[in-house]
Chain A
Amino acid sequence: MSAGAFSDDKVVAAAAKIECVLVDCNWGQAHKDLSDKYKIRGYPTVVFTDSDGKQIELMTDRTAAALVKQITTIADKHTKGVTYLPSWEKASEAAKKEQKLVLYFFVGSDKDESAALKAAIEDDSLEKLRESFVLVRMKVDPDAADCKRFEILDGTSPLLLILDPAAEKPEEKPLMRVTGKRDAEQLKQMIETVLEARK
């Protein structure tokens, strides 16, 4: 990569979708097991793998734009399960870039309700719908910046927000606000209604 690619804001934003691992081989003196596994012949070398460590490909182009594309393609194709980003800041940035909405899951202290809502969000029947969103998840903490931003004061029940990051003040006009547990079918209908209204 060029010296600037790893400092490019778009590359850094895309990197939230993958695990970024730096292996300092100390000129062959350290991490020899990993170097052998991925047949490293020189430095620097960037290897992309799936979550089990199986090599997918090497970095193909050193420009920032190409690296963003490669990271995004690999993340979309090889991420297992449902991926959540950790904050509104990261999610809104990614959602703007991908022209998606943000689905924000605030996990409440009621474990049963939160687990039920999580199961609904991650249900296979919503797989296609989830492609319209960047997902965020955080435990309700009234002191956290995102809880203050979205005025999440009661941390008992889980809460789900659908937000348009392109809106002027998305926190003031959520497209959907659901408190408490829902099953997958209920959630699917709600999300479809939101998406239908935006067409």
Chain B
Amino acid sequence: MIRFALILFVAAFNQDGGKMPWKKDPVAAIAEAKKSGKPMMIFFTSQG
């Protein structure tokens, strides 16, 4: 039961990117950061 609840919690937590302007194509986003000179915040998650 606890294991099941934990799995549900982790799944929900991982999928919550909130309202942030996430770019979901890492290759394009990294190229854009290099071009704009902006630092990056990279959110590693697992939604699959």
Question: Which A residues lie at the B interface, using CB under 8 A?
Answer: 3-9, 11-12, 15-31, 34-35, 38, 40, 43-53, 56, 59, 71, 74-75, 78-81, 83
Contact = CB atoms under 8 A, between A and B. Distances in A.
A48 B40 contact: yes
A44 B45 contact: yes
Interface residues of B, number: 32
B47 A26 contact: yes
B39 to A, nearest CB: 4
A7 B39 contact: no
Contacts of A5: 18
Given A19-B38, A34-B42, A56-B39, 19 more contacts: A3-B13, A7-B18, A9-B19, A11-B20, A17-B38, A18-B39, A18-B40, A19-B23, A23-B43, A24-B45, A24-B48, A44-B14, A46-B42, A47-B44, A51-B33, A51-B39, A71-B41, A79-B38, A83-B37
Contacts of A44: 13-14, 43-46
* Interface pairs A-B: 6 shortest CB-CB: A6-B18, A26-B48, A80-B37, A7-B18, A22-B22, A81-B37
